[in-house]
Amino acid sequence: MSNMTHEEKLHLKTNDPMARQGEKEVEDDGISPMSPPEAFEPPAKEAIAYDEMHPFLQRLYDEHEPFKKVIDGLESALKDIKEGTMTREKDKLVRDFFEFFDQEFISHNLKEEKILFALLHNRLLESGEHSKGEVPQTAVDVLEGDHRTAIQKSAVVFNLLSIFHRLPDKSSSLMILDLALSQGFELVEELRLHIFREENVVFPLAHKLIRRDEFEAMEMKEKSGFC
C-alpha cells in the first residue's frame, strides 16, 4: 500500500472519500461522529456515573477502551493511504484493527446479545422506551443492527484493501481503493456512533431498569461462557 504512484495520489486527492463522508448525512436522529460536537450529547436521560454501575456494565464499558484505540489506528492508516504515505507502521494498525475486530469485538457483541439485550429489550418495552410504530423497536434493535452492519462492512473493507493493489488494470485498482477508503471511513464513523449509543444511552438505561440480582445472574452466565 505504501508504493503508490503519482497518478494514484492525484486520484485520491480529487476523489476524497473523507470529504464525501463529511457531506453525508446520517439519518439517525441527527447523531453522527461527523456532526458538530453537540451531536455527541446524549438525549435527556439521567446521567449515571461509571462507579455507580454494576460491575457487569463496567466490564462492557472497559472492553470498549482498547477497541477505541484500534478504531483510531484504522482511521489514521486510512488517511495515510488516501495521501499515498502508507508506512509499515500504519499497515500494522490496519492489521491490528481487523485482528482485534475478529477476536474481541465479535465476542463482546455476543456477550451483549446473549446476556444483556433480551432482558433489557423487554424492560425498555415495559417502560415505554420504544418507537411508536406497529412493531415497537427499542435501542436494543438498533444496537443489534449496528453489530450486523459492522461485521458486514468490516469484511467488505478488509477484502477491498486486500485486492486493490493486485489488480493489473490501474483504473480498476483505483476504483477499488476509492471504494475501500469510503467504506473504511464509514465503518470508523459507525463504530464510534455505536459505542457512543451504548455508553451514553443504553448502559445507563440498563442500570436504571435491571435489578442488581439480575445483573448478578448475568455475571454467572458470563462466567459460564454465555453459550
| Separation of alpha carbons 25 and 39, rounded Å | 12
Q: Residue 22: pLDDT above 80?
A: no
What is the reported pLDDT for 9?
Answer: 43
- Hey, what's the torsion of the CAs at 165, 167, 172, 174, to 10 degrees? 10
Residue 133's pLDDT is what? 84
23-78 pLDDT, tens digit each: 443 344 444 433 433 444 555 456 789 999 999 999 999 999 999 999 999 999 99
Task: Tell which wins on pLDDT, 1 or 143.
Answer: 143
Report the pLDDT value the prediction gives residue 152, as an integer from 0 to 100: 97
77: Cβ–Cβ under 8 A, 6 or more apart, which residues?
86, 90, 91, 93, 94, 97
Whole-number pLDDT of residue 46 = 66
- Is 197:139 a contact under the CB 8 Å cutoff? yes
Q: What angle do CA 69, 62, 199 make, to 5 degrees?
A: 90
Residue 157 · residue 181 · CB < 8 Å: no
Q: What is the pLDDT of residues 119-153, one digit of tens each?
A: 999 999 999 999 988 889 999 999 999 999 999 99
Q: How high is the pLDDT of residue 35?
A: 41
Instruction: Give the residue-averaged pLDDT of 108-119.
Output: 96
In this predicted structure, what is the pLDDT of residue 13? 44
Predicted structure pTM score: 0.79
In the CATH hierarchy, which fold is given to the domain comprising 6-24+51-223?
Four Helix Bundle (Hemerythrin (Met), subunit A) (1.20.120)
Domain locations in the chain? 6-24+51-223
Tens digits of residue pLDDT in 90-108: 899 999 999 999 999 999 9
Yes or no: say if 106 and 192 are a contact pair by the CB < 8 Å rule: no
